[in-house]
Structure 1
Amino acid sequence: MKAEEIKKSLEGKGAVMEVGSPNDGFAKFFTGKSWLASLSKDKDIPVYNVTFENGAHTHWHIHHGTSQVLIVESGKGYLQYEGKEPQVLHPGDVVTIPPEVKHWHGAAPGCNFQHISLSKEGEGVSNEWLEAVDEKEFEKL
């Protein structure tokens, strides 16, 4: 699906943020296609709009030295912490993912999804990208 088709689909469900450019720099850490739009020029706390196509999601990952805040804008998605059941994400939900917690997030099967992502950058802060989410488990959602 192209960015314009995703945008049109999500606008009908209340999306207001731009879809952005293909998220090619992080594509190897995602299953499915995603787009990224920078919403802030602040180098210490960057703010991004992340758009996921139908069923696209991140691999498991850990944020070291910072938490991550997700503000759900449109569509339906999931967030799962290692060892816990996935939680459904709906527009208006705000979640804070603590530092050092293994997790993944993204669009639900059959749904496009957008969230704003905020996390600190700088010295002592990094993302550790891990294995892909088990697709058989994901398809059960």
Structure 2
Amino acid sequence: MRIHKAGSRPTRRANPDYFTGTVWQDVIAEPEGSARAAALLVQFEPGARTHWHTHPHGQTIHIMSGLCLAQVRGEAVVELRPGDTAFFPPGIEHWHGAAPHSAMTHLAIQEAEGGVTAHWLEPVEDGPAKG
């Protein structure tokens, strides 16, 4: 068993190449050995969001606080609230982030394929994120 004590892994700023706005991440689980599971607690400042992206084995997000906006390419933007859980199937282009006037935190769970948990695409245009 490996235990990571609270505060033993620093909060990190999310890579700005993949996010618009300020986003913070706390690692919950990282793939190691034959394990593929990855989990992050992700905090989005108001209006911050991911770029369009996909996941090789899909992604589950569970909203912890705030108001989340999410969209699958070609579909309408949806609102997700604390306690809501969304699953994005493998290879489906999507984005998610905080509403313009509300910070948002979600738990993100995904599996790695060859060490890769996400394939990043272009930023989301301003229109869809205004919800």
Please say whether Structure 1 and Structure 2 have the same fold, judged by a TM-score greater than 0.5.
Answer: yes
Q: How many residues align?
A: 121
TM superposition shift of 1:109:
0.7
Q: TM-score, normalised by structure 2?
A: 0.83
Structure 2 residue 63 is matched with structure 1 residue 78 = no
| 1:69 equivalenced with 2:60 (yes/no) | yes
Residue 59 of structure 1: aligned partner: 51
Kindly provide the amino acid, as one letter, of the partner of residue 30 in structure 1.
F
Where 1:111 maps in the other structure, the secondary structure is coil
Alignment of 1:88-99 (within 5 A): 88-99=79-90
- 2:12 is matched by which residue type in structure 1? P
Return the alpha-carbon distance in structure 2 between the equivalents of residues 137 and 70 of structure 1. Answer: 19
Task: Answer with 128-137 or 36-45: which moved more.
Answer: 36-45
| TM-aligned CA deviation for residue 124 of structure 1 | 8.0
**Counterpart secondary structure, 2:82:** coil
In structure 2, C-alpha distance between the alignment counterparts of 1:42 and 1:61, rounded to whole Å: 19
C-alpha distance in 2 between matches for 1:89 and 1:67: 18
Deviating above 4 A after TM superposition, structure 1's stretches of 4 or more consecutive aligned residues are none
TM (norm. structure 1) is 0.77
Contact 2:98 2:104 (8 Å CA) reproduced: yes
State the partner residue of 1:50: 42
- The runs of 5 or more residues in structure 2 that have no matched partner are 1-6
Inter-partner Cα distance in structure 2 for 1:76 and 1:93: 10
Amino acid in structure 2 at the alignment position of 1:95: A
User: Shift of residue 123 of structure 1?
Assistant: 2.7
Give yes or no for the alignment of 1:33 onto 2:32: no
Query: Which residue of the partner structure matches residue 13 of structure 2?
Result: 23
Give the deviation of 1:39 after TM superposition.
1.6
1:131 aligns with 2:114: no
In structure 1, stretches of 5+ residues that fail to align are 1-17
